[in-house]
């Protein structure tokens, strides 16, 4: 027998059901908040400037060579053609993301589509014919987020890369726009930011949005989660008449519990009031994992296009600190396994310095045995090592290694970053190199 709603047990039941409902629907909610940051008129790529992480965590990137843009497109009225121009050797990736925040397709340099392509996006139930010269991609839902990443050859190439990005377009078949010569319009920063909106959402707003969120959900999400969501929703809404009164409090508390659980899962640590994983709630653990993935990586490129690794401790397990000097040795027979290129960068980026990243596109100096040494420190090393110097900020920092088009060994987990060695003061960090140019 279910507890009375106004009893203590009843209020706890409402709170628990609301927390679980929030966790299951969190990817839909977060992705919808991002969608609302874009203009209502779809079919338009917009430039996402600098602080992309304010829009979605997976867009966080301080690479000065990246031109990041995105668009939302609706497929309910039929296919949409994405025209992607020739990139002339620039690395390119296009990530297609469904309304649950899951990348369902990606193409670009890895797939040989950096020479220009016409891509037809079609909805899950569309049946029809398209021109033979288009590549067809069936989406799992009728609303799709398209995220484009185009990398300049160097900072000096940014202007030309921006011009190329402006030639991306989305349009219905037969109404394809001519290549634009106008610069990409910039997406206005969402106010408040999605993270703030998540923290501020109230019980009434969340329940009000559920119908539209569920209607936009991908087919697979519906198959795997619809029954559990319907049961939890019924538990919460059974006392909807009381929602404006005292039962709004346990629903709001449940939403807060759900968000705390997601953040704790993302940080892999316990929260003050961690949400328990009931054994009799089939699929909840998976729902929590999916929610944490959306919280951490929404908008990120597919790992097979760009794989990122973050390191914040040295070989002895001590936090990286700008007051120390570090060395990383990439052996000749074991460089970072990227089929396009790789880049190592500190976060936060130093306020001053000749570069913000170091990689195989830089003119680094090898050692006599063919290995490559990277020196990470805040102050410049000796003149002979400047080419291999990666400036870091003062204080605590982390290093991000990005592999563009990673080798299969990376995706299988068969490659490890060399140790980050902490150097003693006045050590080899400023000494002569042994190799020749």
Q: What is the CATH number of the domain that holds 395?
A: 2.60.120.1600
Same domain, 12 and 45: no
Same domain, 271 and 385: no
- Identity of the highest mean pLDDT range in 39-53, 170-184, 240-254: 39-53
Confidence of residue 298 (pLDDT cuts 50, 70, 90): very high
Tell me what pLDDT residue 240 has.
58
Taking phi first (over 0 means left), then psi (-120 to 50 degrees means alpha), and beta for anything else, what does residue 71 get? beta
**Mean pLDDT score, 69-91:** 93
Same domain, 323 and 426: yes
**Mean pLDDT score, 316-333:** 95
Q: Is the dihedral of CA 9, 11, 14, 15 positive or negative?
A: negative
Same domain, 48 and 156: yes
Percent of the chain predicted with pLDDT > 70: 87
Res. 93: pLDDT tops 90: yes
Tell me what pLDDT residue 278 has.
45
What's the rounded Cα separation, in Å, for the pair 147 and 66? 12
What's the rounded Cα separation, in Å, for the pair 311 and 418? 11
Q: What is the CATH number of the domain that holds 92?
A: 2.60.40.1610
If DSSP codes are grouped into helix, strand and coil, which group holds residue 72?
strand
Same domain, 270 and 327: no
Q: Which of 34-48, 106-120, 174-188, 291-305 has the lowest mean pLDDT?
A: 174-188
Residue ending a domain, choose from 297, 323, 351: 297
Q: Is the residue at 187 inside a domain?
A: no
Same domain, 344 and 238: no
Residue 54, token pair as written in the block: 């304010």
Q: Is the residue at 393 inside a domain?
A: yes
Tell me what pLDDT residue 236 has.
80
**Mean pLDDT score, 328-356:** 89
Question: By the 8 A CB rule, do 298 and 363 touch?
Answer: no
Q: Is the residue at 186 inside a domain?
A: no
Q: Is the residue at 185 inside a domain?
A: no
Res. 277: pLDDT tops 50: no
Question: By the 8 A CB rule, do 96 and 139 touch?
Answer: yes
Tell me what pLDDT residue 42 has.
64
Question: By the 8 A CB rule, do 107 and 117 touch?
Answer: yes
The model's pLDDT over 157-179, given as tens digits with 9 standing for 90+, comes to 999 999 999 999 998 887 765 55
- Tell which residue, 144, 150, 174, 172, has the closest CA to residue 163: 150
Res. 434: pLDDT tops 80: no
pTM over the 0.85 mark: yes
Confidence of residue 40 (pLDDT cuts 50, 70, 90): confident
Tell me what pLDDT residue 269 has.
38
- Tell which residue, 299, 283, 160, has the closest CA to residue 225: 283
Confidence of residue 30 (pLDDT cuts 50, 70, 90): very high
- Identity of the highest mean pLDDT range in 171-180, 193-202, 420-429: 193-202
> Domain of 257?
8-33+194-297
Same domain, 407 and 311: yes
Tell me what pLDDT residue 279 has.
44
The model's pLDDT over 399-409, given as tens digits with 9 standing for 90+, comes to 999 999 999 99
DSSP letter, residue 385:
G
Residue ending a domain, choose from 297, 326, 344: 297
**E-only strand ranges, 242-334:** 306-311, 325-330
DSSP letter, residue 426:
T
Same domain, 53 and 130: yes
Residue with tokens 């050590």: 427
- 284-297 helix and 8-37 helix, angle to the nearest 10 degrees: 40
Percent of the chain predicted with pLDDT > 90: 54
**Mean pLDDT score, 424-437:** 50
The model's pLDDT over 132-160, given as tens digits with 9 standing for 90+, comes to 888 899 999 999 999 999 999 988 999 99
Tell me what pLDDT residue 61 has.
86
Tell me what pLDDT residue 12 has.
86
Question: By the 8 A CB rule, do 261 and 278 touch?
Answer: no
Tell me what pLDDT residue 174 has.
74
Question: By the 8 A CB rule, do 371 and 332 touch?
Answer: yes
Residue 191, token pair as written in the block: 């106010």
Query: For the chain, what is the mean pLDDT?
Result: 86
What is the tally of structural domains in the chain?
Answer: 3
**E-only strand ranges, 98-188:** 103-108, 115-122, 135-138, 143-151, 169-171
Same domain, 152 and 49: yes
Question: By the 8 A CB rule, do 233 and 210 touch?
Answer: yes
Sheet containing 143-151: order of strands: 46-47, 66-74, 143-151, 92-97, 103-108
Residue ending a domain, choose from 297, 331, 366: 297
Confidence of residue 432 (pLDDT cuts 50, 70, 90): very low
Tell me what pLDDT residue 365 has.
92
Res. 267: pLDDT tops 70: yes
């Amino acid at each position: 027998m279910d507890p009375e709603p106004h009893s203590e047990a009843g209020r706890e039941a409402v709170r628990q059901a609301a927390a679980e409902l929030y966790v299951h629907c969190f990817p839909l909610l977060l992705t919808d908040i991002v969608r609302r940051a874009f203009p209502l008129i779809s079919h338009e790529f917009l430039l996402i400037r600098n602080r992309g992480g304010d829009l979605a965590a997976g867009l966080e990137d301080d690479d000065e060579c990246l031109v990041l843009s995105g668009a939302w497109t609706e497929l309910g009225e039929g296919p949409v053609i994405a025209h992607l121009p020739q990139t002339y050797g620039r690395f390119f990736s296009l990530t297609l993301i469904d309304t649950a925040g899951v990348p369902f397709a990606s193409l670009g340099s890895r797939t040989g589509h950096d020479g220009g392509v016409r891509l037809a996006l079609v909805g899950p139930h569309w049946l029809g014919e398209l021109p033979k010269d288009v590549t067809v991609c069936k989406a799992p839902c009728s609303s799709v987020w398209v995220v484009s990443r185009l990398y300049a050859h160097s900072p000096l190439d940014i202007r030309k890369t921006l011009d190329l990005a402006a030639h991306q377009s989305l349009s219905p078949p037969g109404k394809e726009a001519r290549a634009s010569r106008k610069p990409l319009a910039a997406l206005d920063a969402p106010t408040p930011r999605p993270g703030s909106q998540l923290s501020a959402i109230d019980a009434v707003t969340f329940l009000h949005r559920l119908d539209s969120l569920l209607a936009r959900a991908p087919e697979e999400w519906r198959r795997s989660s619809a029954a559990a969501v319907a049961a939890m929703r019924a538990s919460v809404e059974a006392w909807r008449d009381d929602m404006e009164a005292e039962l709004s409090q346990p629903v709001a508390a449940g939403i807060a519990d759900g968000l705390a659980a997601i953040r704790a899962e993302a940080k892999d640590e316990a929260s003050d009031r961690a949400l328990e994983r009931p054994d009799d709630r089939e699929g909840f653990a998976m729902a929590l994992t999916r929610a944490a993935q959306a919280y951490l990586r929404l908008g990120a490129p597919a790992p097979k296009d760009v794989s990122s690794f973050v390191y914040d401790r040295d070989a002895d397990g001590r936090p990286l600190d700008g007051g120390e000097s570090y060395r990383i040795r990439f052996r000749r027979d074991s460089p970072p396994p990227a089929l396009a290129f790789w880049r190592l960068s500190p976060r936060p980026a130093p306020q001053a310095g000749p570069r913000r990243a170091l990689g195989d596109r830089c003119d680094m100096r090898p050692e006599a045995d063919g290995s490559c040494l990277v020196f990470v420190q805040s102050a410049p090393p000796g003149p002979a090592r400047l080419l291999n110097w990666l400036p870091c900020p003062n204080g605590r920092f982390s290093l991000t290694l990005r592999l563009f088009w990673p080798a299969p060994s990376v995706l299988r987990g068969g490659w490890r970053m060399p140790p980050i060695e902490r150097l003693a003061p006045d050590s080899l960090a400023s000494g002569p190199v042994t190799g020749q140019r």
